[in-house]
Chains A and B, each alone.
Chain A
Amino acid sequence: MPATLRRHGSSYLFVLPTFSFFVVFTLLPVVQAFALSLQSATIVGGEWIGLENFATLADDPVFRQALGNTVLYTVVVVAAQIVLALVVASLIQPLGRKNQTFYRALFYLPLVNSAILVAMVWRWIFNPNPFGLANTALGTVGLGPFLWIGSSDEALIAVILSSVLTIPGGGVVLYSAAISSLPRELYEAADVEGAGWFTKWWRITVPLLKPTTLYLVVIYTILAFQVFERVYVMTNGGGPNNATITIVQLIYSTAFQFGRYGLASAMAVVLFLMAVAVAVVQFRSLRSDVEY
């Protein structure tokens, strides 16, 4: 061991700062989150209670609501983001380098701002007033007025719309880079056979982009699982009758407003397992068809 240290000491010193922070503030906390989920930890202390927290969660209508909202939000938003990113990237591809750069920047610009700022604007756009911006806009085509964030039926729709109505710039950039590196020969062969643009897109581009699509689905899904700021700001952390409550929102309020740290940690473990499950599915499907 001393010999190893002498030979490799400098390597360990290079890794040491980052790795110590990583161990103290990421690795151990992940382990501790699991440990806490098996304890009754509250402000006054706690003891080991096995899986009781998870049993409590399974019976808790608010948690089930949060889980359902999070999954619904994720499914709709991720599907929309993937389709939008793919279509926009495909559209800007033939436009030449200059235009591509312009559009990539245009679609990325809205994303440099925090979810908090954006949610503050959306809260206003979707305010229940019949003269709110969304209601006025829809009113011109004879729809509404809707109660939006003021109604337990429409609040979640408003939160979902606020995400769907933003072009996912990161996805556009990644798809755009992937499309540029697709082999030209297949398209030339398709041209020879007289295939139209839609056939080429649907039969060549979309299937060849599968690895990028899978990657984006995983990243966007894990991000969507963590939706919090929008709900916190747009609907004061849950909306009427918990209509928009999500897992992270519930973790936050359970731990830091009600001091039930053990129960909140059990929710965090559920969130963790959801993310792992998604990552495993991606890994599997990537392994099953690497070649194209």
Chain B
Amino acid sequence: MSSTRSRVPVHALLLVAGLLSLFPLYWLVLTSLSPTQYVVKVPPEIVPRELTFSNYQRLFETTPIVRWLVNTVVIAGVITGFHLLFDSMAGYAFAKRRFPGRKVMFWLVVSTLTVPAQVTLIPVFFILRTIGLLDTYPGVILPGLADVFGVFLMKQFIQTLPSELEQAARLDGASEWQVYRHIILPLSRPALAVLAIFTFQRYWNAFIFPLVILRDPAKYPVQVGLATLQGEFNTDFGMLMTGAAVAAIPMIAVFFAFQRYFIEGIRVGGVKG
């Protein structure tokens, strides 16, 4: 029914919508590359006249942005690593093993999937204060390991794996750990990729928990650091946008590198954040 020509308006409409969505990102990068006099220019210019890296130079010289980026990579990286291990282990047990309490435990896990994270913010703050982990990296990392989305994702995936290989391995005398390590883990690679990307993105972008838990600006992840820059350089838009661009570029690179896992992740795991 629809010829190629009748699709032109549809493409045009979709592209306009897409570009509108992308506009904040474009504006961010553009402003970060504009000389200061154009940043404050009125009316604003949508197409740049001159590009410079001077904002980047100023940002790296006057703010601890590099430290914040390193903090973010460490925090998000460690949380992601632990999730890959722990969630695949739990997912395997919930999907393939039969043990008393399995149903209750899994039901508890699933029933908290829709609880807004902020509900636990104050109690977690108290717990960390009691065990002396406020304002420490473990204080930010440990609560991140409680997030059960990955258990759910891994269980759903591992459930679809055929059981013959495991049974054969068991007959050959493999221990439960060996079955998990040498059969389940390699077969779960696609799900692990989705989990890694989603977890890393989630903790790269985390804000309210680190904001509450950390006091020392040297320990901030980049999102929290940026928010403090906003207070400091309220009128220096060039600097602010440059900081935002520096925080955005790694996630955009990750997106382009692993695009199909992002899309796959939404299909399997639903919209999460």
Q: Chain A interface (Cβ within 8 Å of chain B)?
A: 4, 8, 10-12, 14-15, 17-19, 21-22, 24-30, 32-33, 36, 84, 88, 91-92, 94-95, 99, 101, 103-110, 112-118, 120-125, 129, 131-133, 136, 165-171, 173-174, 177, 197, 215-216, 218-220, 222-223, 225-226, 228-229, 232-233, 248, 251-252, 255-256, 261, 264-265, 268-269, 271-272, 275-276, 279
The binding surface of chain A is classed by DSSP as helix
Evaluate whether A112 and B254 lie within 8 angstroms (CB atoms) in the complex, with A17-B89, A91-B13 already known: yes
Interchain nearest-CB distance for A69 vs B (Å): 16
B194 interface residue per 8 A CB criterion:
no
Given the complex, which residues of A lie within 8 Å of B201, measured CB to CB? 112
User: Which residue numbers of B lie inside 8 Å of A, CB to CB?
Assistant: 1-2, 7, 10-11, 13-14, 17-18, 20-22, 24-25, 27-28, 31, 42-44, 85-87, 89-90, 92-94, 97-100, 102, 105, 108-109, 112, 114-127, 142-143, 145-148, 151, 175-177, 180, 201, 204-205, 207-208, 212, 223, 226-227, 230, 237, 240-241, 244, 247-248, 251-252, 254-255, 259, 262-263, 266-267, 270-273
Q: Are A228 and B118 in contact (CB under 8 A)?
A: yes
Contacts of A95 in B (CB 8 A): 7, 10-11
B residues within 8 A CB of A264?
Answer: 122
Kindly list chain B residues whose C-beta atoms are within 8 Å of the C-beta of A27. Answer: 108, 112
| Contact yes or no, A174 B266, CB < 8 A | yes
Question: Given contacts A14-B89, A14-B90, could you give 4 more A-B pairs where the C-beta distance is less than 8 Å?
Answer: A25-B145, A108-B263, A228-B118, A248-B116
The answer to whether A218 touches B112, judged by C-beta atoms less than 8 angstroms apart, is no
> What B residues does A101 contact at CB under 8 A?
263
Q: Is the interface of B mostly helix, strand, loop or mixed?
A: helix
User: When A18-B148, A32-B123, A121-B244 are in contact, do A103 and B18 touch as well, CB less than 8 Å?
Assistant: yes
Task: Find out whether the CB atom of A114 lies under 8 angstroms from the CB atom of B204.
Answer: yes
